[in-house]
Structures are given as structure tokens and as C-alpha cells.
Amino acid sequence: MLNPDFRLATGATSGTLGVVWIAHAADAVSFVYVNGRLEAETFAPGQAERCIDVPLAPGSLAVIEVHDFDSGDLPEAPAAVTIPPTAYTRPMIRFAAVPGAVRYRLYHRPESGIEMRAWEAAANPDDGEWISLECPVDLDGRSANAGYVGGWHFFRVEAVSAYGVESLAQAWAWRALDVPAAPRVAVVLGDEPGVFTFTVFGG
């Protein structure tokens, strides 16, 4: 809900403005918007009084809003992602639609990498109860240290509310495995009848 009772103060660092308010409940989750854009998220269990600094250029004008939500008001997280083993490096990802969601976002992180947003789309009432998509990135199924032993990949799907708030994170793992190419065999007649030379390439 919108919290109109906040005050402004000098920020702790140059170029910032302090926003101070008291949430309606000590365990509420608060979001601060500047010019309609989500600028900060704060959660302070046991403490209703909050203060954060937001960047604001000197001499500029801005519309600041503070919204406090009970945990039950946050968007529902999509049901567990299911990844059937129909493909190893481009699996199908399926998740439950969330009532009230306006967008969905898929995040991907390789085992030894940085998480990045891999897909985003607006919610469509015609999608039905489940949404399916092919993994938008080709997953690396090799291990840098041990060759073809598979690599772990981690996904999470977030539902986004009309306020731009993402649901609580849930993560699922998928092990991709590149199958090595079959070796090539060349057969050459030998110097004597019935003798052949076999050469194996790759594998």
C-alpha cells in the first residue's frame, strides 16, 4: 500500500537524498520508487522505521513514492520449473502461470558463472495454466577439467506484479551433457590380401 507519510533528509553520500518513513508493520517489505521506477527494496523485520538513500542529481525534480507490503501481498512465485529430459543442451522449461502477474522473467546461471536474465515476456491471459518455452540459451554440457562429464546450470522464474515487484526467488538445477561425437574410422587395403589398416579419428 502507498505510504504517504515519509520525510526527506540529507543523504549519507554526495548526490543522494535520504528517505525516512515508518512502515505500517515491523515485518513489512517496503519499496521506494523514483519517477515511477523501482529504486530500492528494504526489509527490516522487527523495525518499522526505515531510512535509505536514493540517488538524485542536484537541482532535479522527482516524484518519490514509498509502498509497504505485507509478505502475503507480494506476488506468488511460479510453481516449480519442470525440465523434461527431451534435450540436453536446449531443454524445455515449463512453469505455472501466476494470477495477477504482468510479466515473467527467466534467469540462468552456469555452475561457475554469473546469473543473467535469459528471457522476459509479458503475461498473456491466453497462456493458460502453464507456460512452456525452449531454453533461450545453449547450455554448455562439458566440464573444463574433466571433459564430457556434464555441467550444472541453475534457473529461476520470477513473476512480476503491476508495481514491478518480483516474486520471491526459487531456483532449479539442470545438468547438461554434451554427447561426444562418434569417432570416424578409415579403412585402407593393406599390402597383402586380407590385410586392412584401420585408423580411428576423434572420440
Structure confidence by residue, pLDDT tens digits, 47-97:
888 888 888 777 777 888 888 887 666 666 666 555 554 446 777 888 888
* Amino acid occupying residue 150: G
pLDDT at residue 193 greater than cutoff 60: yes
Q: What is the rounded distance in angstroms from the CA atom of residue 81 to the CA atom of residue 78?
A: 8
pLDDT computed for residue 85 by the predictor? 47
Q: What is the rounded distance in angstroms from the CA atom of residue 68 to the CA atom of residue 29?
A: 6
How much of the chain exceeds pLDDT 90, in percent? Answer: 3
Q: What is the pLDDT of residues 139-156, one digit of tens each?
A: 877 655 555 556 778 888
pLDDT computed for residue 86 by the predictor? 45
pLDDT at residue 195 greater than cutoff 90: no
Q: Which residue has the higher pLDDT, 114 or 41?
A: 114
Provide mean pLDDT across the span 163-188. Answer: 68
Burial of 32 (0-12, 13-18, 19+ CB in 10 A): buried
- Which residue from 121, 151, 122, 125 is spatially nearest to 138, judged by alpha carbons? 151
